[in-house]
Amino acid sequence: MKKVVVAGAGGFIGGHLVKALKGKGYQVRAVDIKPLNQWYQVTEDVDNLILDLKVKANCYQALNGYNEVFNLAADMGGMGFIETHKAECMLSVLINTHLLMAAKDSGITRYFYASSACVYNGDMQTDVQNPGLKEADAYPALAEDGYGWEKLFSERMCRHFFEDYGLVTRVARFHNVYGPHGTFDGGREKAPAAICRKVIDGQFNGKKDIIIWGDGEQTRSFMYIDDCINGIQKIMYSDIKEPLNLGSSEMVSINQLTDITEEIAGYKMTRHYDLDAPKGVRGRNSDNTLIMKLLGWEPSISLHDGLTKTYNWIKGEMLPANGAGADAKPHSCNCQ
């Protein structure tokens, strides 16, 4: 039986990953800094620990008796958070540093690190018609200030712990993961959830106006959570030593994302553009050439299908009948 630790288990992706691994019969230890009642999902028959993994001793406690690690723990959120909390994002380097040290000393056989497309050179993301970012485009380095630099540095740590100590490490660069059981309000939410929330709020309250951050022409690709969980496991148990993109190659503008959400809702709104709001790079997309070559697989769930499930889940969370009004906020997330 595999004995795996999921760091950041109280977060969006971590909660889904714990359920998937437990469903495979693995013995799972789920670790997060938040109180258990603030986790996005809690899986039964799992060893749930409340620990601050920035503290070195806690990392040794978390890994004791286990043999594999999925490190998804980080202080992060959408663009509205990472552009205004750069120091907090950088402090996540302590988590990966101390987990790697504990992994080396505790006999961990395999270690997964969740990186981000924010590691990519910003000069390659100035055009909305982004052809797709290849893994090699992280260098020469010009990562997203704060969050992106922490991720790039932590990738290098994983590489050198493998080279110097033989710790098997695997790295995936996530591109905008979304889906049910995620943040949709409070400042850490990403674009799909934010747009869904705004449209649902409009429906509930008869509002016709919606605020879009930026001019709406900036482009991104969005990966549904099921593809993400599948990809994490494929990369973790592969023999691929280099970081890999893990994202959809279905690029859309924020205006197109809004179009799809309005179509799902059957509700049209009048758009107003906040050009002073945080908006990130101009264009970003995942080039999946390498993952297709090495794994014969790429994320394939369409944005329309994934967004429909996400929209319906958020609407259910916001229904007044559930005791939550349209302004209800879920717990803040300090994990990926």
Residue from 228, 229, 227 nearest 22 by CA:
229
Taking the C-alpha atoms of residue 238 and residue 183, their distance in angstroms, rounded to an integer, is 30
DSSP per residue, 192-228:
HHHHHHHHHHHHHHT--EEEEETTS--EEE-EEHHHH
Taking the C-alpha atoms of residue 40 and residue 333, their distance in angstroms, rounded to an integer, is 8
**Amino acid at position 109, single letter:** T
Contact 8, 14 (CB under 8 A): yes
Distances 160 to 47, 104, 170 between C-alpha atoms, Å:
30, 12, 12
209-213 vs 219-221, strand pairing mode: unpaired
Contact 201, 194 (CB under 8 A): no
Distances 250 to 5, 174, 284 between C-alpha atoms, Å:
32, 14, 11
Contact 179, 226 (CB under 8 A): yes
Residues taking part in catalysis: 147
- DSSP 3-state helix, strand, coil percentages of the chain (rounded to 5)? 40, 20, 40
Both structure tokens of 16: 């889904």
**Residue 47 φ then ψ, to 5°:** -80, 95
